[in-house]
Amino acid sequence: MTDILSLKENNCKDCYKCIRTCSVKAIRFAHNRAQIIADECILCGSCFVACPQKAKQIRDDVAAVRAAVAAGRRVVCSLAPSFIADFAVRGIGDMRTALRALGFADARETAEGAQLVSDAYAAILREGKQQVLISSCCPAINLLVQKYYPTVLPFLARVLTPAQAHGRMLKQEDPDCFTVFIGPCIAKKDEADHSPYIDAALTYDELRAWLAEACVQLPRAVDVEEPGMRARFYPATGGILRATEAVPGYRRMAIDGVENCRQAFAELERGGIDPVFIEMSACEGSCINGPCIREHRGRRVKGALRVDAYAGDDRFPLGTEPGDIARTFGFLGGRAVHVGSEAINAMLLKMGKTGPEKELNCGSCGYPTCREKAVAILEGRAEIEMCLPFLKEKAESFSDTIIHNTPNAIVVMDEDLAVQQINRAAVKLFNLTSATDILHEPVVRILNPEPYREAVVSALNVTCARRYLAEYQRCVEETILYDRQYRVVISILRDITEQEALRGKEDELRRQTVETADRVIDKQMRVVQEIASLLGETTAETKLALSRLKDAMNRE
């Protein structure tokens, strides 16, 4: 099972959708990547279907089948009865023609094996020894019981699946044949890996890709043909019940979907159930909504109607004595949790769950409750950062700490220039009592809106523009940012009033210095002229030097 369902790491985008979908939480997150835990996976395919990035991939077994064809083996297909819902053909004849073009010796319907299984179910019910009988046709449900519900094992019908029963029949007819099951199910690959009757299992997706590569086209037909067989009801919800003889004394019910089946198991474990025959399928809608059915997705009703039209009341004329198709199911040992409450409570604190009111149980991480998420972290299958409320609160706390403690005033407005957020520095700058005085009010109440309106219209940012706010007697250096994606305008104002005051004092001191220099120069010029006249020398050079000194003082 280890390689049946795997991950394309580069495609995984850390969205947690697969773990939200996985009923048994058989997915571990490490280094922001999902990893399927093979020993716990039931191969229902829910993560494969749900993944929006197509990061889950199914093992391709076409090469093994091609090798058998190339080796000259007589390759026989056991085709699941749901094919009529996924391929717009008239019946098995069209599929047999296409498969023979790929090198198959023959194609038969798995419904032949389903007929044997229905007969075996009816025989068990007629014996009346089993109070509750659960169908064992769905390999994903079988794995679910074997791994997680050992107390339900006695209720599981000890009968081969239709695919294995059919494979057994085909090998009775030809012991050397190479049997290939083709259907919508991922779990069938695991079944084939452990079955002496199925040599390989392909999905409809693999078959479709192979047909396209070989340029083999299936005919498209609106109506189905061929005589209706009762066992062809199997792929639709309730189909096993319709194909199996009703036995007096037993009620009958169909349950589909893993979560619905798990709830039923919980009831069965409590006991007190009247004699009942329960059909169970991991897929909601049963096999016609299997993980590898694509053509009809979103058209479940039409698929069910095609199955109904293709089935009927007749039986397959099987010429081979089926023999014993009984099997046993053993407990495969699912995950057991051994985490103490003290450790769980400590982890909840690390997750920011400081009290019951913080345990939102929102399920965004994929786990139904915060406590289950804490257990998953302790088991190494999840990370604290998977908690969306925790990350949101952490991010908001971090940003709030920065915004509210920065000395710069920050005002955030929407495109209509209504104030959406304002920090403490801004409240102080604009002489407000509190932030609520201006929140959701037009910014014109505290600032001239024109620069912000221009920023929205032009989509251009303004950096370090100096403005004097006369009403507040403050000089500011303002940066205006317009975020088109979130449609907000952000004003960051740095109060430079003190710097401007200091600059004014420096300018005044410089002016006074220049005036003093002027007076000194004039006085010195007179003295020099007097001395020069006495000495009979020119004053030109002295005057030039002093003028340069004066100019230098003015430039400063």
CA 518 to chain centre: 79
List beta partners, residue 311.
229
- Cα–Cα dist 229/198, whole Å: 23
The two three-digit tokens of residue 508, written as one number: 């005044």
The CATH architecture one would assign to domain 60-310 is 3-Layer(aba) Sandwich (3.40)
pLDDT reading at 315 higher than 90: yes
Question: Rounded to whole angstroms, how far apart are CA atoms 298 and 170?
Answer: 35
Spatial neighbors of 523 by CB under 8 A, at least 6 apart, are: none
Round to whole Å and give the CA distance between 11 and 454: 42
- 419 in Cβ contact with 439 (< 8 Å): yes
User: If you average pLDDT over residues 5-19, what whole number do you get?
Assistant: 81
Average pLDDT of the residues in 48-53: 88
Position 528 scores a pLDDT of 65
H/E stretch holding 364: none
The pLDDT score that the predictor gives to residue 355 is 75
Rounded CA gap, 338 and 336, in Å? 6
- Please say whether the structural domain 406-495 has been given the CATH code 3.40.50.12280: no
Predicted confidence at residue 401, as pLDDT, reads 74
What class does CATH assign to 340-394? mainly alpha
Average pLDDT (200-221) is: 94
Judged by average pLDDT, the poorest of 6-20, 299-313, 502-516 is: 502-516
- Is the whole-model pTM more than 0.85? no
Lowest-pLDDT range, 154-158, 453-457, 488-492, 500-504? 500-504
* Percentage of the residues of the chain whose pLDDT score is greater than 90: 56
1-59 against 340-394: fold identical? no
What torsion do the CA atoms of 430, 434, 436, 440 make, to the nearest 10 degrees? 20
Averaged over 193-211, what is the pLDDT? Answer: 96
> Which of the residue ranges 27-36, 248-257, 372-381, 541-550 has the most confident prediction, judged by mean pLDDT?
248-257
Of residues 203 and 516, more confidence is placed in 203
> Residue ranges per domain, the chain?
1-59, 60-310, 340-394, 406-495, 507-555
By percentage, how much of the chain surpasses pLDDT 70? 88
Q: Which residues fall within 8 angstroms of residue 508, CB to CB, at 6 or more apart?
A: none
| Domain made up of 1-59: CATH architecture | 2-Layer Sandwich (3.30)
Q: Which of 178-182, 196-200, 223-227, 495-499 has the lowest average pLDDT?
A: 223-227
Looking at residue 24, its amino acid is: V
Buried b (16+ CB within 10 A) or exposed e, 203-218: bbbbbbebbeeeeeeb
Mean pLDDT, to the nearest integer, of 277-292? 94
Q: What is the mean pLDDT of residues 77-103?
A: 95
The answer to whether residues 80 and 183 touch, using CB atoms and an 8 Å cutoff, is yes
User: How high is the pLDDT of residue 148?
Assistant: 92
Confidence grade of residue 280 (pLDDT, cut at 50, 70, 90): very high
Query: For residue 207, what pLDDT is reported?
Result: 96
Closest CA to 132 of 252, 225, 266, 305: 252
Q: Which two tokens stand for residue 39?
A: 């020993």
Beta strands in 236-310 (DSSP E): 251-256, 276-281
**124-152 burial string, b = 16+ CB within 10 Å, else e?**
bbeeeebebbbbbbbbbbbbbbbbbbeeb
Condensed to tens digits (0 to 9), the pLDDT of residues 369-428 reads 888 777 777 776 777 666 666 655 665 566 667 777 889 999 999 999 999 999 999 999
| 324-381: pLDDT as tens digits | 888 888 888 755 556 677 787 787 887 777 777 777 777 667 777 888 777 777 776 7
